[in-house]
Structure 1
């Protein structure tokens, strides 16, 4: 078995799973804290499928049987709990108001630690290479996801050309009709998931463009469709969505592009600085 997380393994096999196996997989990912203790029969009962279906899911994911799959689930769940344990400071028992800042920062630290543990470097570099080689990059982010999408669009535009972005409420056909099989489409999709993201992905698929998803989990609606899915809050059952984790992930992508395509990025930045100076855009 490789070092992929359960969610990555399920996502890669999802299209070939039977409807029953998908139900079992979704139950396991949404209730890992229960699945670590349940038998195959009990998982099946909770997911509304048979014990045999759960065992076949284990085989479909490349495990030798249910016990080996459950052992992987248990290890990932315990890893998340260890983060909770080491980050928790039980010595401070102040009022809720006094703890607010600490609680928020501690939560962000846990999410960033989880991001470091879950990230698949192969997928990161696959996304970086696609962003370097593409003839154009279209960035889509709708509703609350637009803020992170715009940050990425603006920063990416500093180091390469032909970068375009949607509006918060949708995208224009005129803006995406020139996408080709050499293009990359980066789609941001976080809860509550917007239907526009799926519409953009559907259009990108028709154009044979590479789809890169920036989302919270592998099995989010857009995560299931993308060629590369980069997640931020996987396994963090907190109900809290971290903007810091999203920006951190994007900074990794930008740094990777700058490293692998440094000459072109540096040339573009120099050209932009000349234009900025001519327009007296910034305080010096």
Structure 2
């Protein structure tokens, strides 16, 4: 194997697997500790497939067999348990720093991640999400932990372009008020990345009953949020550090906003003029 971790490889290969092998993949990703210490027969029983299917799953993702799967899972769990996201980030940069003009290599990796995401975008989902952002009366954005920075950027930018954009907060009163306002005329954007906060998933469960559209943005095809989102965008990344995924995530969000403005260019141009006029007037009054 190369330097990709087992979690990334399973996620990358997931769409190429048979339905029975996908059951093994899903069980493995959700129960890594179990796979690390139990036999292929036990895993098959838990996943609802045969032992043979478990072995074939290993071959399908490029491993030599179940023994290698257990080794890779064990190493992944060891590294995950001993390294923080920040530590993974610094370690991944050490090799780059040792090279001349390391800044080029660093930015090339960011560009590579962005291109990878663009190539894997589902055009129908993207167009539908862009239309929802333009047509729905209210937009609610949820993003906690490592997703919070991206959620704030998305809120700031959307708020410049259209009314009724809400960044949902963890405070109970604010959360309850927002939940009461969400209806069929709303679209909810939930950013959920490893390690997945339980609060956004719980909120998605509550929102699901309101019959509104939920756009889930995550890093795995089987991330918890995919169960509730009506449209899912998966920004897969090889690195264990969520910090590395941020430039590509912001680029994707920026592209999604471009898709929204493409629905009615004249309207958003008028919004820009209003904003610029107010900003110029405000600055002139302040410094006059």
Q: Shorter-chain TM-score: which interval? A: 0.5 to 0.7
State the 1:98 CA deviation. Answer: 4.9
Report if aligned partners of 1:186, 1:213 keep a CA contact under 8 Å in 2. yes
Select the residue among 145, 148, 158 that pairs with 1:146. Answer: 148
Alignment correspondent of 1:177: 180
Report if aligned partners of 2:44, 2:51 keep a CA contact under 8 Å in 1. no
Whole-Å separation in 2 of the counterparts to 1:94 and 1:128:
37
Alignment correspondent of 1:239: 240
Alignment correspondent of 2:277: 274
Select the residue among 43, 50, 67 that pairs with 1:48. Answer: 43
Gaps of 5+ in 2: 1-11, 33-38, 63-94
Alignment correspondent of 1:198: 201
Whole-Å separation in 1 of the counterparts to 2:48 and 2:198:
35
Alignment correspondent of 2:103: 101
Whole-Å separation in 2 of the counterparts to 1:185 and 1:94:
38
State the 1:110 CA deviation. Answer: 3.0
Gaps of 5+ in 1: 32-43, 58-65, 75-92
Alignment correspondent of 1:85: none
TM-score w.r.t. structure 1 length?
A: 0.67
Report if aligned partners of 1:138, 1:176 keep a CA contact under 8 Å in 2. no
Residues 9, 258 of structure 1: CA spacing in aligned structure 2 closer, same or farther, 3 A cutoff?
A: farther
- Matching of residue 118 in structure 1 with residue 120 in structure 2: yes
TM-score w.r.t. structure 2 length?
A: 0.66
Report if aligned partners of 1:218, 1:231 keep a CA contact under 8 Å in 2. yes
Alignment correspondent of 2:251: 248
Alignment correspondent of 1:264: 267
- Counterpart secondary structure, 1:223: helix
Whole-Å separation in 2 of the counterparts to 1:132 and 1:174:
23
Select the residue among 161, 164, 167 that pairs with 2:166. Answer: 164
Alignment correspondent of 1:217: 220
Decide which structure has greater helix share. 2
Whole-Å separation in 2 of the counterparts to 1:177 and 1:210:
15
Q: Count residues in correspondence.
A: 231
Residues 119, 26 of structure 1: CA spacing in aligned structure 2 closer, same or farther, 3 A cutoff?
A: farther
Residues 94, 122 of structure 1: CA spacing in aligned structure 2 closer, same or farther, 3 A cutoff?
A: closer
More displaced 10-residue stretch of structure 1: 248-257 or 170-179: 170-179
State the 1:119 CA deviation. Answer: 1.6
Report if aligned partners of 1:258, 1:265 keep a CA contact under 8 Å in 2. yes
Whole-Å separation in 2 of the counterparts to 1:29 and 1:118:
24
Whole-Å separation in 2 of the counterparts to 1:248 and 1:94:
22
